[in-house]
Structure 1
Amino acid sequence: MTAKSPSLPRACALVGPFASGKTSLLEALLLASGSITRQGRIKDGTTVGDSSAEARARFMSVEPNIATTTYLGESWSFIDCPGSVEFQQDAYNALMAVDAAIVVCEPDPARAVMVAPVLKFLDERKIPHILFVNKIDAAGTRLKETLDALQAVSDRPLIMREIPIREGDAVTGYIDLVSERAYKYRPGQTSQMIKIPDALKSEEALARQELLEHLADFDDHLMEELLEDIQPPTDEVYADLGKDLAEDLIVPVFFGSAENDGGIHRLFKALRHDVPDPGVTAARLGIQSSGGPLAQVFKTVHAAHTGKLSFVRVWRGEFTDNQTVGGSRIGGLYAMTGGTPTKTAKAASGELVAFGRLDPVATGDALGSDEPGLAPWPEPLKPLFAFALEAEKKGDDVKLTGALAKLSEEDPSLGLEHGEFGELVLRGQGEIHLQVAIDRLRSRFNMQVVTKKPTVPYKETIRKAVSVHGRHKKQSGGHGQFGDVHLDIAPLPRGQGFHFIDKIVGGVVPRQYIPSVEHGVAEFLHQGPFGFPVVDLSVTLTSGSYHAVDSSDMAFKTAARIAMSEGMPQCDPVLLEPILLVEISVPADFTAKAQRIVSGRRGQILGFDAKAGWQGWDTVSAYLPQAEMDDLIVELRSLTMGVGTFSWAFDHLQELIGRVAEKVVELRKQALENA
């Protein structure tokens, strides 16, 4: 193979399911490149990645971890992305900033479906990616079955780059199918070249032929060579592999052991020769090769000591500290390894760095020259779980809102809203996702909070019409208070809201007081007999009387409230429950389980169909009461190996009666008494 020319700095993201070994792989790559002298362990809290308190406490990645190193004279940046689906937004954003992804998985066919969402994201955006089957040294590994299962969830053909050498049940090395050389693993060192075992020569020949045939699907010249039984030159095979990977036509497959340094140097050398240069990546993203300096933000962090950091990939030109971009001046330029920023003077094309104190800049923003053809940034993931929060210390509400706004800027899949009952509601991708956010409130912003389930926005309405009289008369020396109204209260069809009708004739209620009557009615409707807002009714002002001296706006407003409080209990009030239209997405093997979840939560199944663009997946449509949505995502993930998800939207209000309604009213009464 001819020597490879040095490349511009390149970047790879490590992605894959939780516990597949991405952080261990990052450690192994850093050890192989000489950046560290000893490989850290997650259980010991000694890894370069997962350095935050939130990650260490949970023994899992909860944010992207960045490390830059040099291997055989070339600069590499790796982004170790969280594997938990609850932190998927960070992984998706990081993938927009790299030249290729390493998809890490375990040699377990039952877990292959867990890789499907990230593979789908990669293929939709044509991001080059290779597959690294980790933990190959575990007992009972089933590599072939695993690859068959992975192929079922990959839109691109999986291309074996090597086959295993086994001693008993243990994988002790590999045969490279391009160079046709065999190697034996040596932990802590490069693998030792050995002769291809005689017992594997026929298997190697068949596997190599299969690799070449896959490549020939995209190369007519190679196809002609194979048809004429000509063995293609090794350089031609390597060139095809690099080209097809860059175009996301194939997914090369490697295997090894990150914890025990098996196959890591082979993986690194493949990255070096096959991963496209930043210029190729920039072109894929719609970035022109000529023009002024250009960088794009893929992650925002509000750090305790450095302030706001905007993590960027430089696509073109050069940036320096104090340079003005996006209308703001860069307040510090940092290279990153783990959680430690190191000041640097400049950043050139291909590098992955952090810009300090660019307050107006958001994740996804392009900095520098305008680039109208830039690929669209991933949409924020829709929220699936929620907590209502309040500051533990009175008077900290404004501080809490500001801190939550910063966390939402860091992670767009967090959402903040003010609920109907005055609650501050934080929404996210799951319980752990929100717990990490709460931990960050405490550690970064010194904010202690109390959490609870958000109040379900029940409503109430009426089923019977009544006529009612309300009078407010008070004499306490000087001017008194007098207001007198007759109201007709009647139900309206669902969704009509509140209508106020004025039928006063003859001036029995002076014209200037009629708006006050409407205001009094509307104020009462904020909290009906059950304690919830009242909807879908009309109130007609039919008659009344006034006093020339004692009548006032306040008196008529009070009279209207008196009439409503006396009349509403006579109108046969009923509770209304919010019903959501929910679309549950699961692999087809789990469709029946998804339907049982719906049935067990008082839901109404509307049907199911194949999920568009997702081979082997279904979408179950259903109506579900909002009250039953609290931990839906927790149950769904636990029954679908973590890959099930859903989307939701409010659909309608539905009457709720019986014991469930009585319990809701009783809890509301208690909440109002304790408020």
Structure 2
Amino acid sequence: MSDRLSSGSRSIAIVGPYLSGKTTLLESLLWVTKTTSRKGTVLDKNTVGDSALEARDRQMSIEVNAASFEYGGVRFSILDCPGSIEFAQETYNALIGVDAVVIVCEPIVDRVLNLAPLFKFLDDWEIPHLVFINKMDRADIDFMQVLKALKSISSRPLVPHQYPIGQGESLTGFIDLVTEQAYHYHPGAPADLVPFPEELKAREQIARSEMLETLADFDDHLLEELLEEINPPHEEIIQDLKMELGADLIVPVFVGCADRDFGVRPLLEALLREAPDPETTAERRGIVLNDSAPIAQVLKTYYTPQGGKLSLVRVWQGTIHDGAVLNGVRVGGLYRLCGQQQQSLQTAQAGEIVALGRMEGIKTGDTLTSLEAQNAAELPRAEQMEPVYALAINAENRNDEVKLTGALAKLLEEDCSLHWHQHGDTHEIILSGQGDIHLQVALDRLRRKYNLPMSTHQPQVPYKETIRKKATSHGRYKHQTGGHGQFGDVYLDIQPMTRGEGFQFAETIVGGVVPRQYIPGVETGVREYLAHGPLGFPVVDVAVTLTNGSYHSVDSSEQAFKQAARLAMQDGLVKCEPVLLEPIVRITLSIPTDFTSKVLRLVSGRRGQILGYDAKADWHGWDEVLALLPQAEMHDLIVELRSLTMGVGYFHWEDDHLQEVPDKLAERVLQSSANGNSNGNHNGKSR
């Protein structure tokens, strides 16, 4: 086989909700393959996955961790992916680069819904995936009920590969539904063959029939055998499982208990036999393997204290050599990762996931090619998640502010679901992302990696103000010093405009009462005053017309007319009944149908206006709620939404319009500002 393809490799991602045990499963895989000499635990903070300090502090996955081992003559590259929705971007970026995915879940029906977004992503991208139901040693587990719940969130049929054997409240073994052989688990050792438990025969037959009938939907020969009541050979069933998993037509289901290594070896054997090879995956991605020029894609970017920048890549075609030039950048080191450990390599083959050193200017999602393959198409990348939670940040030490921009740039390279900007009205530095934990992890990294401790607060609401009626005002600026004085004199007509029209300046000067060269100064003075109106906020939707004035042939200047205009605005705007405006956003909330009524109450309770709701396209059992919501009510909306929807609800939003703040609320906002909180940071909540 040519070096453009190595079927002796498999790339596998392990995913699952928080506390499902996926990092423990990785530890078990590494231990049973003798890759590690001891098995770490999350509680002891010594696992290969979750190796970052921020992950160990929280005992949860916050970024993709890579590991590798050999088993059965195949090199496995494993990606341990975050389970929290707040770090889903990390997971999605990684999933597009693997051959298959192991979904780890607990045998609790009520928690299965947490997996719905993940199943949807895998189904949409047609990524082969199987399920490992972990922690099967818990009491009162109904395997068939858990299987039914999983089926309700998958658009692919689930195929049970095993049936659990229990004794009392303990998981003792399993029945292989392919061979119909029973096995007994042993801690730290492979399961051994035991007599078939006859009391489970009826239930095993139901599960096996379901498996074979599902496979027969895609195999006419197997269907004929079943119709003729011929028991198909084991090899035929395995081949069907391999072909249909590789084509993402079915989702095989396995059981076990990772912290005791139960079921881990059968899962590993199934991955060895049935997971698609790199060539099949490349074809599914639309990559035509027609030459040996290297093609790779960046799945994750790290900045390490010792080695600097590392780009974790999936090699899709060809061989990558240390020192090779990809996208015009020389590879400054080639490594196989196992948590924080790095093993130097000279080459990496197609199908492997490795780290490239010092790839400056290369970002997560980029397609990397050599000069020979520079015409290769850009590989698709995971959709960018929009921010839903924000904090305003300040360096605790003002001398650190100059370093902050560079540190944030690196932080965003590592985690592309983070965003930052400096708000044009409030001048705050806003860091936004997918939730409070997400941002706290980012702040921890700023402190630990870049020695930049931050203080935070809720972002200011960018209130505006406008006027309700028109008025005429006069401003005269006269200042006399020892030499030339300053003189400017203007009359202004001020009137409200339709909401959203912004600002308009005009002049109707006749007879040269205000010389042309001074009129720009008048407009500048008006604009400068509108930046901070009588209520303390920027003024919008106002038209100002210069109608009259006078000047002095010696003392007048553009600066003097600017000051006169400011005085006229200061006097006139108060007469125009200024009112406070708040930004209103248009928001689309996506939630399971069972929670729609609760979400409608949530939006209404935050002064929202429901525009309607309907079934969500291509999402079985989900609704979309469309609403208008004051931005002041947005800060912790995602927290409450997830709390109401078992962690799976999400939303998209965009700025829509400005709207008058209700009088009582406006009084509280203005009082807050007058009492020294010039931020105008009242959140407007009346609950």
Q: Which residue of 2 aligns with 1:659?
A: 664
SS of residue matched to 2:597: helix
Q: What are the residue-to-residue correspondences of 1:119-518 with 2, within 5 Å?
A: 119-291=119-291, 292-368=293-369, 369-370=373-374, 372-373=376-377, 375-420=379-424, 421-518=426-523
Q: What are the residue-to-residue correspondences of 1:510-659 with 2, within 5 Å?
A: 510-659=515-664
The worse-fitting range, judged by mean Cα deviation, of 80-89 and 392-401 is: 392-401
- Per-residue deviation, 1:494: 0.4
SS of residue matched to 2:261: coil
SS of residue matched to 2:190: coil
Deviations 1:293-343 (A, max 9, x none): 111111011222211111001111111221111111111111100122222
Partners of 2:348 and 2:597 in 1: CA distance? 53
The worse-fitting range, judged by mean Cα deviation, of 282-291 and 371-380 is: 371-380
User: Is the contact between residue 172 and residue 184 of structure 1 (CA under 8 Å) also seen in structure 2?
Assistant: yes
Partners of 2:43 and 2:315 in 1: CA distance? 35
Q: Which residue of 2 aligns with 1:3?
A: none
User: Is the contact between residue 587 and residue 644 of structure 1 (CA under 8 Å) also seen in structure 2?
Assistant: yes
- Per-residue deviation, 1:457: 1.1
Q: Which residue of 1 aligns with 2:28?
A: 28
SS of residue matched to 2:279: helix
Change (3 A) 1:18 1:673: closer
Partners of 1:212 and 1:144 in 2: CA distance? 16
SS of residue matched to 2:430: strand
Deviations 1:68-107 (A, max 9, x none): 0111222111111011100000000110111000011110
The worse-fitting range, judged by mean Cα deviation, of 565-574 and 29-38 is: 29-38
User: Is the contact between residue 460 and residue 533 of structure 1 (CA under 8 Å) also seen in structure 2?
Assistant: yes
The worse-fitting range, judged by mean Cα deviation, of 550-559 and 357-366 is: 357-366
SS of residue matched to 1:78: strand
The worse-fitting range, judged by mean Cα deviation, of 492-501 and 370-379 is: 370-379
SS of residue matched to 2:359: coil
Deviations 1:391-417 (A, max 9, x none): 111132231111111111111111111
- Per-residue deviation, 1:673: 9.2
Partners of 2:578 and 2:90 in 1: CA distance? 47
User: Is the contact between residue 136 and residue 171 of structure 1 (CA under 8 Å) also seen in structure 2?
Assistant: yes
User: Is the contact between residue 285 and residue 374 of structure 1 (CA under 8 Å) also seen in structure 2?
Assistant: no
SS of residue matched to 2:641: helix
Change (3 A) 1:631 1:673: closer
- Per-residue deviation, 1:203: 2.5
- Per-residue deviation, 1:349: 1.5
Partners of 2:218 and 2:22 in 1: CA distance? 31
- Per-residue deviation, 1:657: 3.1
Partners of 1:240 and 1:161 in 2: CA distance? 12
Instruction: Please report the RMSD computed on the Cα atoms of aligned residues, expressed in angstroms.
Output: 1.4
- Per-residue deviation, 1:148: 0.8
Partners of 1:98 and 1:74 in 2: CA distance? 15
Please state if 1:80 is matched with 2:85.
no
Partners of 1:67 and 1:153 in 2: CA distance? 29
- Per-residue deviation, 1:605: 1.2
TM-score by length of structure 2 reads 0.96
User: Is the contact between residue 532 and residue 539 of structure 2 (CA under 8 Å) also seen in structure 1?
Assistant: yes
Partners of 2:347 and 2:536 in 1: CA distance? 61
Partners of 2:593 and 2:379 in 1: CA distance? 32
Partners of 1:250 and 1:548 in 2: CA distance? 88
User: Is the contact between residue 673 and residue 680 of structure 2 (CA under 8 Å) also seen in structure 1?
Assistant: no
Across the two proteins, how many residue pairs are aligned to each other? Answer: 670
Q: Which residue of 2 aligns with 1:112?
A: 112
Q: In the alignment, residue 311 of structure 1 is paired with which amino acid?
A: L
User: Is the contact between residue 405 and residue 416 of structure 1 (CA under 8 Å) also seen in structure 2?
Assistant: no
The worse-fitting range, judged by mean Cα deviation, of 40-49 and 248-257 is: 40-49
Give unpaired runs (5+ residues) of structure 1.
1-5
SS of residue matched to 2:651: strand
Q: In the alignment, residue 16 of structure 1 is paired with which amino acid?
A: G
User: Is the contact between residue 8 and residue 349 of structure 1 (CA under 8 Å) also seen in structure 2?
Assistant: no
Partners of 1:527 and 1:343 in 2: CA distance? 59
Change (3 A) 1:37 1:673: closer
Deviations 1:221-280 (A, max 9, x none): 111111122221111111110000011100000010011111110000001000011111
Deviations 1:178-198 (A, max 9, x none): 111110111100001111111
Partners of 2:429 and 2:110 in 1: CA distance? 41
Partners of 1:563 and 1:142 in 2: CA distance? 78
Deviations 1:487-518 (A, max 9, x none): 01000110110010111000000000001100
User: Is the contact between residue 286 and residue 373 of structure 1 (CA under 8 Å) also seen in structure 2?
Assistant: no
Q: In the alignment, residue 644 of structure 1 is paired with which amino acid?
A: G
The worse-fitting range, judged by mean Cα deviation, of 648-657 and 339-348 is: 339-348
Partners of 1:237 and 1:634 in 2: CA distance? 46
Partners of 2:206 and 2:379 in 1: CA distance? 40
- Per-residue deviation, 1:375: 4.4
User: Is the contact between residue 460 and residue 679 of structure 2 (CA under 8 Å) also seen in structure 1?
Assistant: no
SS of residue matched to 1:190: strand
Deviations 1:631-656 (A, max 9, x none): 00011111111101111011111101
Partners of 1:613 and 1:521 in 2: CA distance? 52
- Per-residue deviation, 1:120: 0.3
Partners of 1:552 and 1:179 in 2: CA distance? 96
SS of residue matched to 1:222: helix
- Per-residue deviation, 1:661: 0.9
SS of residue matched to 1:530: coil
Q: Which residue of 1 aligns with 2:685?
A: none
Instruction: Name segments (4+ residues, structure 1) moved above 3 Å.
Output: 370-375, 671-675
Q: In the alignment, residue 580 of structure 2 is paired with which amino acid?
A: L
Give unpaired runs (5+ residues) of structure 2.
1-5, 682-687
Partners of 2:169 and 2:437 in 1: CA distance? 37
- Per-residue deviation, 1:372: 4.3
Q: In the alignment, residue 477 of structure 1 is paired with which amino acid?
A: G
User: Is the contact between residue 12 and residue 78 of structure 2 (CA under 8 Å) also seen in structure 1?
Assistant: yes
SS of residue matched to 2:186: coil
TM-score by length of structure 1 reads 0.97
Partners of 1:657 and 1:464 in 2: CA distance? 18
Partners of 1:447 and 1:633 in 2: CA distance? 27
SS of residue matched to 2:563: helix
Partners of 1:376 and 1:353 in 2: CA distance? 19
Partners of 1:222 and 1:271 in 2: CA distance? 23
User: Is the contact between residue 81 and residue 90 of structure 1 (CA under 8 Å) also seen in structure 2?
Assistant: yes
